[in-house]
Structure 1
Amino acid sequence: MILFDRNDVTPMAASRCIPNTLTIAGSDPSGGAGIQADLKTLSALGTYATSVITALTAQNTRGVSSVHPLPADFIDTQLETLLEDIAIDAVKIGMVASRDVAEVIREALARQRPRWIVLDPVMIAKSGDILVDDAGIKAIRECLVPQADLITPNLPEAAVLLGCPAPADRAAMEALAPGLRALGAGAVLLKGGHLGGESCPDLLIDGDSLHWLEGPRIATRNLHGTGCSLSSAITAYLALGEAPRDAVAAAKAWLSRALEASHRLDVGQGHGPVHHFHAWW
């Protein structure tokens, strides 16, 4: 018996329970990024999604007007209450705005560590708005990156993490690889969408090996939350039992289909969301 037969979902034997996933991130009231995009992605791909909110934002498809980080002690209470009851198979970490919050997350996950930790170092919104201050950036680099099995920075985020100019071509992406790997994560997916051109090449840095993952550039303005959705898709595939390299490839293919189907949505006047449930409705 197969529980899921959609093209975007890994089939799972009926004898195996549906895996539990967790997203730790900020809220996006427009539904295209952050917690909302994560929950949609994790659910669409066949996992049971839970969440811990780190920040509230006032934003829409055109930009972010305000960010309200939640107190670290309340985030700690959310995590402790959830983790003492539910066994989490894989966690995705998104927006973290302060060192106190980064330390709370690190300590909670060290006590009850899921099999997989994926970190999307969210620091810059699609609109270009800066979401995290210098102290928050340092905390992400020092507290969370070394704990992660995989981090998924785009080119501007990688540049912020390393304090250098953003790569402008593939050669520069490869040159950045040793520095990113040295930050301590198990693997790095350096996303090359900002390069421009007809393709979106991503570079997977896995140990001492480099692997290019190719993908077409989809002609659409609906790009809001693509980074959140990709990292959540990777988290879902890892929870479903895929090996890391296969999980990354499957997630990238899933996101391409979500972008291709995004024209079916009419959400906002700026960068609209991808169609997370393209395989279902």
Structure 2
Amino acid sequence: MTLAESSYRAAPPCVLVFSGSDPSGGAGMQADIPAISALGCHPLSVPTALTVQDNVSVFAVHPLDAELVRHQAQALIDRFRISAVKLGIAGSRANAEVIAALIRQLRVAQPDLPVVLDPVLANGKGDNLSNDDAARVLEPLYALATVITPNLNEANRLCGAGLTPARQAARLMARGCRHVLLKGGHGPQQEDVVNRWFGTFFQSEHVEEAVESAHWSWPRLPDEFHGSGCTLAAALAAELAKGTPMRNAIAAAQDYTQHALNTSYAIAAGQRIPNRVPAFVVPSAGENHD
């Protein structure tokens, strides 16, 4: 066996990603790919839309044709074993319906295939990320989600404002989502970020509430970040692809994301870019590797 052959790593789990392309490199597919790779998995990437955006504004969204989305994914499904699916923006209702059909196809052979749904409705500024009604686009995907990861703004839009987190989570679970990770990054700025995991749905004659399984509190950083939600959802998909139990997967994904935010960088004024790629020290030219 040669030195090169002995250095080969075992095949990593594959995560099938459906998300939009962000030319600024901060969010969407450009966030998903490095996050999944950094956590030891291989991303299989199917773009659903091309966006025109920078680290502040979304100027346009161009959904890809639904048949093209299907064809891209089917070629991957036919060739590779998929260990998890990560869903970002679908771009259109037609794309969401195609993606739902593909997931159902995968689950014929893999009933427990993890699916992470990041219900991205808009960027941090509030610019829409779908030409259709972004909330309606998600409807075919709820029942297929192992875990959905809305921030507070998204939860308010999907479930209604003024509800407790437990009631919001219950409304999402009633649509078919098995687990809800309600993120607190868009909460009151004077408070810590509290992320809440709901894994049990309770329904009585008069009350629908989800039961909080765990919560995590993080110091609120002073800046805004481009693609933090994508990073967390992609990291969670990677952990679930490796077989990590849900509680541990959520904790590990948050640890990774917090580190990416703590070591973020600015390429222009506006939102900072999370640092998703661990540093690699290049050996000096004179170093001996015999």
- TM-score bucket of the superposed structures, by smaller chain: 0.7 to 0.9
SS in 2 for 1:194: coil
| Structure-2 change in CA distance of 1:277 and 1:15 (3 Å) | closer
Taking the aligned partners of 1:35 and 1:93, their CA distance within structure 2 comes to 10
Aligned to 2:147: 150
Q: Distance in 2 between matches of 1:246 and 1:195?
A: 24
- Identity, in percent, stands at 37
Q: How does 1:71-150 map to 2 (within 5 A)?
A: 71-113=65-107, 115-132=113-130, 135-141=133-139, 143-150=140-147
* Partner secondary structure for residue 250 of structure 1: helix
| Count of aligned residue pairs for this structure pair | 260
Name the CA distance, whole Å, in 2 between partners of 1:150 and 1:156: 17
Cα offset, 1:280, TM superposition: 4.6
Superposition deviation, residue 130 in structure 1: 1.6
1:181 aligns with 2:173: yes
In the other structure, the counterpart of 1:272 is 272
Alpha carbons 1:106, 1:144 under 8 Å: kept: yes
SS at match of 1:31: coil
Cα separation, 2, equivalents of 1:234 and 1:191? 13
User: Does the aligned pair in 1 maintain the 2:20–2:91 contact within 8 Å?
Assistant: no
- State the AA in 2 paired with 1:184: G
What are the superposed Cα offsets for residues 147-195 of structure 1, whole Å, 9 maximum, x if unpaired? 1101111111112222x1266xxxx222322212211111111111111
Distance in 1 between residues matched to 2:241 and 2:226, nearest whole Å: 24
Where does residue 216 of structure 1 map in the other structure?
A: 218
The alpha-carbon deviation at position 52 of structure 1 amounts to 0.2
What displacement does 1:278 show? 3.8
SS of equivalent to 2:24: coil
Following superposition of structure 1 onto structure 2, how do residues 1-281 of structure 1 map, counting pairs within 5 Å?
17-113=11-107, 115-132=113-130, 135-141=133-139, 143-162=140-159, 164-165=160-161, 172-196=164-188, 197-208=190-201, 209-262=211-264, 265-278=265-278, 280=280
Q: 1:48 to 1:279 in 2, by over 3 A?
A: same
Deviation at 1:219, TM superposition (A): 2.4
Distance 1:246 1:51 in 2: 25
Show structure 2 runs of 5+ residues with no match: 1-7, 202-210, 282-290
TM-score by length of 2: 0.84
Cα RMSD after superposing both structures: 1.9
Alignment partners' CA distance in 2, 1:128 and 1:267: 21
Query: Structure 1 pair 255/166, CA: closer, same or farther in 2 (3 Å)?
Result: farther
CA distance in 2, matches of 1:198, 1:108: 41
CA change 1:88–1:64 in 2 (3 A) is: same
Distance 1:26 1:15 in 2: 30
Query: What's the CA shift for 1:121?
Result: 0.8
Distance 1:15 1:71, change over 3 A: closer
Q: Which has the larger radius of gyration?
A: 2
Q: Which runs of 5+ in 1 are unaligned?
A: 1-13
Given residue 178 of structure 2, which amino acid in structure 1 is its aligned partner? G
What's the CA shift for 1:228?
0.3
Indicate if the aligned counterparts of 1:96 and 1:122 stay in contact, CA closer than 8 A.
no
